[in-house]
Amino acid sequence: MQSPSACPCRGGIPWQGVLLAGNAVGYSWYRGQITDRIRLIVSYSIFTHSATPGPAFSGRETVYPNGSLLFVNLKKEDTRFYTLQTTTDNFDTEVATGEFRVHGLVAQPSLRATNTEPHSVAMTCLSGDPGISITWIFNSQTLQLTDRMQLSPDHRTLSIDPVRQEDAGEYQCEASNPASSTRSDRYRLAVISEERTPGLPVGAVAGIVTGVLVGVALVAALGCFLLHTRTGRAGVQQGLRDHRTPASTASQGPSDSSTYLAPVSGHKTAVPIYQELLNPDLDIYCRVDHTAIGGS
């Protein structure tokens, strides 16, 4: 919209050669995309070397002999399309339209970090300026993304998952537009390594302790069982020694506290109980009076 020599400001717009037409005799600038008289800002005549303001002239525009238009004290409201109409020496006209954008100074953004999971972090660049670009800085250099890093579609959020020791350092976000740029304060990311001490994990130790306790309980139960079994056998042997007299002796009959053999059928003879214990016979049964054994 303005030539570099006419204005050192940023934001010049190419006009496809219309500005420098060698046979031009006049220029007219309009607000918007149509050449309506009410939208005329200013016109310039090469014959008279004079500029004539139009209805849309605000007093902040200056037109130059080469057709360039200079704005002073730019406002954001000046962002819009502008149309240039060039008149040639044979009174033909050429029209070109371009968009002119006004960008203000970018305010300093702020950086916020959160732990989304125990081993991941998300950093967000906070800025209220519209139409800005976000660049991430790591240790004063442009951040080189790795496969563990991910940017949101607008580049305002940087996620690292999982975080590793090499990710430790100072992070910044830079907000910029075509007119200015600024960086946030430094945010230092510290990564604490989980040093493993010699020995088993807590879960393994708990499992081992549980197994030992179960084993002790089983050994104790087995010991009680064996002790009870040996006590019973000792009582039976004591009863056998106390009643070693053959069952066929007529002078001594069985008593309430004695151990005896009872034939299931009449054709079998009784045998001492210790022989039955050594040579079991399914047709013979025995009864042990534990009350009598315990009292002897």
Model confidence at 293: pLDDT above 80:
no
pLDDT in tens, 199-211: 556 566 567 767 7
Confidence bin at 249 (pLDDT 50/70/90): very low
The helix (run of H) or strand (run of E) holding residue 274 is helix 273-278
Q: What pLDDT shows up at residue 198?
A: 54
pLDDT score, position 160: 95
pLDDT in tens, 271-292: 454 444 455 544 444 444 444 4
Q: What is the pLDDT of residue 288?
A: 43
**At 90, is the pLDDT very low, low, confident or very high (cuts 50, 70, 90)?**
confident
Per-residue pLDDT at 200: 55
Tell me the average pLDDT across 36-44: 94
Give the residue among 84, 96, 66, 81 at the shortest CA–CA distance from 4: 66
110-189 has the same fold as 24-100 = yes
Least confident of 29-38, 149-158, 246-255, 272-281: 246-255
**Exposure string (b/e) for 211-242, b if CB count within 10 Å is 16 or more?**
eeeeeeeeeeeeeeeeeeeeeeeebbeebeee
* Domain parsing of the chain, residue ranges: 24-100, 110-189, 232-247+255-296
pLDDT digits (tens, 9 = 90+) for 43-81: 999 989 999 999 999 999 999 998 899 999 888 889 999
**Sequence-distant contacts of 234-239: CB under 8 A, at least 24 apart:** 235/288, 235/290, 235/293, 235/294, 236/277, 236/288, 236/293, 238/293, 238/296, 239/273, 239/288, 239/289, 239/292, 239/293, 239/296
Assign 26 a pLDDT band (cuts: 50, 70, 90).
very high
pLDDT tens column, 92-110 = 889 999 998 888 889 999 9
Residue 89 confidence (pLDDT): 85
**Per-residue pLDDT for 251 more than 50?**
no
Digit-coded pLDDT (tens) for 130-173: 889 999 999 999 999 999 999 999 999 999 999 999 999 999 99
Q: Which CATH number fits domain 24-100: 3.10.105.10, 3.40.50.1580, 3.30.1240.10, 2.60.40.10?
A: 2.60.40.10
- The CATH class for the domain spanning 110-189 reads mainly beta
Residue 262 clears pLDDT 70, i.e. is over it:
no
**Strand order across the beta sheet in which 149-151 lies:** 110-117, 120-126, 157-160, 149-151
Q: Would you state the structure tokens that stand for residue 245, as one six-digit string?
A: 């007299």
Going by the DSSP 8-state scheme, the letter that residue 265 receives in this structure is S
Segment holding 290, helix H or strand E: helix 290-295
Q: What is the mean pLDDT of the chain?
A: 75
Band of the pLDDT at 22, cuts 50, 70, 90?
low
Query: Under DSSP, is residue 277 helix (H, G, I), strand (E, B) or coil?
Result: helix
pLDDT over 80 (residue 217): no
pLDDT-derived band at 120, boundaries 50, 70, 90: very high
Give Cα 156 to chain centroid, integer Å. 16
In the predicted model, is pLDDT for residue 248 greater than 50?
no
Average pLDDT over residues 227-245: 58
Burial of 135 (0-12, 13-18, 19+ CB in 10 A): middle
